[in-house]
Amino acid sequence: MPDINKIREEIDKNNSEMEKKRQQKIKEEYEGLSEQEKPTEELIKEKEEKTEKKEEMTEEKKKHSAAKAMEGKEEKKDLEKEITGNFYDELEKIKDMRCETKKQQSLKTKKCFELIEEWKNYGCSDNFKGVQKVFTELEKSETQPTMAYYWQKKESTKRIALAMASNYDQWNIPDKEKIKIINSFVKNKSKGKEVFYQKDKTLAEIAQILASKDIPYKDGVKLIIKNIDNPTEKQKTIEKLLKIEKKPLEENKKYLKEIKEILKKQEIPSEENVKEQLEEMNILVKMEKIIKDPKTLSKIISNAFEISKDADVQESWGELKSVIRKTIEKAKTPEKEEKEEVKNVVKNAKDFIKKETGKKGENGKEKKDSKWGTGFGVLGQGILLFLILFMLLELKGVDYLIGQTSGGGKKKQ
């Protein structure tokens, strides 16, 4: 049992240091006493014998607690093994779930996300192989991914990656392999909608966690940094790493504790959490659903035509347009004060973005552009529809987002 030997060695070392200190203290005390107060040789001997006995007992006690700690470790390992076994069992059940209807598919996706979250803190016991298998199952089951799915997947990927880094010392494989697994996991699972593409940010956080754990830069953290594509993000991360290395150990420990707390506190990123946690993204999720649903979109369009022709609304529409015009003018005021060359750069960039995200392919189909362009197109459409719905709400009080009228009465759309 090499571990017990190590512990014993440490105990011996500590004992000899303590003995030295004790002798020194006795010497100091003795020298400080007057002649009468000084104990006789017998008394000293007696005292030393008592102390020796006491120390023998302490050593026994220490050995006992070390053995107990080892037992505890073994027990913990057994427990983790059992838990991991249960998770694999759960995964098998998910694999056998039917996935024919949309409802079945959505239930399977939900179960996958739940299992990933539960497995996260025990992933080390099988070097995160099981969790990755759940991801594979998740990707297989989701044939019509929505924005909500991409968002949830991004969140889960990030949380697993952070768990991998913050429990780095508990894996059972060499460091090089750990880094390889973390890199490939983040790289492969971050694929999806550009709006939610966070590979670089996740890798940057991982690098900081590893640096706080004193993992060497060369052959370690460096290999994570290498996979950050965005040069600005890379530079920022390296600067942060330099600061981390200078920080005292206690501060780094505090940082790691905080990360672990965050991982504990946050629950599964369910659709409900998407709504609560990320209001902006939620708007996009809803907008995407509407744009993808021709029925709802047609209803909104015909309602917009009705509203625009409604004589009662004309006055209100004129007033709203005037307010919007004034708001736009006001919004552009600080920009007017900018230098001409700055205004030109912004204008050129704006024209390019609009051209890239709005154009069509030769057959009238959407042209496949850069990943950035595609993601930005989705965002642009979402914002445009949101603005239209906002105007309809202001004009007629019809809220398509929650299916209610702001004027009190319900009007399901």
Partner 1 sequence: MQQNFLNNFPPEIKDTASQLYDTILERSLMQAYKNLDDGKKTMMAKIFNSDNKEEKNNFLHNYLGNLQDIMMKETKKIVAEIKNNRTIAKAK
Using CB under 8 A as the criterion, which residues of the chain lie in contact with partner 1 when the complex forms? 195, 200, 229-233, 280-281, 283-284, 291-292, 294, 297-298, 301, 304-305, 308, 317, 319-324, 326-328, 330-332, 335, 338, 341-342, 344-350, 352-354, 356, 360, 366, 369-373, 375-376, 379-381, 383-388, 390-391, 394
HSE (CB half, 13 Å, CA atoms) of 96?
6
Q: In terms of DSSP H, where are the helices of 293-370?
A: 294-309, 311-336, 340-358
Q: How far is the CB of 85 from partner 1 (least distance, A)?
A: 42
Q: Beta-carbon neighbour count of residue 160 at 10 Å? A: 26
What is the C-alpha to C-alpha distance for residues 46 and 355, in angstroms, rounded to an integer? Answer: 95
Of 92 and 239, nearer to partner 1 (C-beta) is: 239
Of 157 and 252, nearer to partner 1 (C-beta) is: 157
Of 33 and 345, nearer to partner 1 (C-beta) is: 345
Burial class, 217, CB count within 10 angstroms (exposed 0-12 / middle 13-18 / buried 19+): middle
Q: How far is the CB of 316 from partner 1 (least distance, A)?
A: 10
Q: Which residue has the tokens 């007057």?
A: 34
Burial class, 263, CB count within 10 angstroms (exposed 0-12 / middle 13-18 / buried 19+): middle
Q: How far is the CB of 178 from partner 1 (least distance, A)?
A: 28
Q: How far is the CB of 199 from partner 1 (least distance, A)?
A: 11
Of 4 and 345, nearer to partner 1 (C-beta) is: 345
Q: How far is the CB of 96 from partner 1 (least distance, A)?
A: 35
Q: In terms of DSSP H, where are the helices of 146-230?
A: 147-166, 175-189, 199-212, 222-225
Which H helix or E strand runs over 27?
helix 2-32
Of 83 and 391, nearer to partner 1 (C-beta) is: 391
Of 67 and 323, nearer to partner 1 (C-beta) is: 323
Q: Beta-carbon neighbour count of residue 2 at 10 Å? A: 6
Q: Please give the single-letter amino acid code of residue 96.
A: D
Q: How far is the CB of 92 from partner 1 (least distance, A)?
A: 39
Of 263 and 388, nearer to partner 1 (C-beta) is: 388
DSSP string of 72-132, one letter each residue = HHHHHHHHHHHHHHHHHHHHHHHHTS--SSHHHHHHHHHHHHHHHHHHGGGGGGGTTHHHH
Of 172 and 348, nearer to partner 1 (C-beta) is: 348
Q: How far is the CB of 337 from partner 1 (least distance, A)?
A: 11
Angle, nearest 10°, between helix axes 249-265 and 199-212?
Answer: 130
Q: How far is the CB of 376 from partner 1 (least distance, A)?
A: 7
Of 30 and 390, nearer to partner 1 (C-beta) is: 390
| DSSP label at residue 324 | H
Q: How far is the CB of 399 from partner 1 (least distance, A)?
A: 13
Q: Which of 110, 77, 88, 89 is nearest to 3 (CA)?
A: 77
What is the C-alpha to C-alpha distance for residues 266 and 273, in angstroms, rounded to an integer? Answer: 10
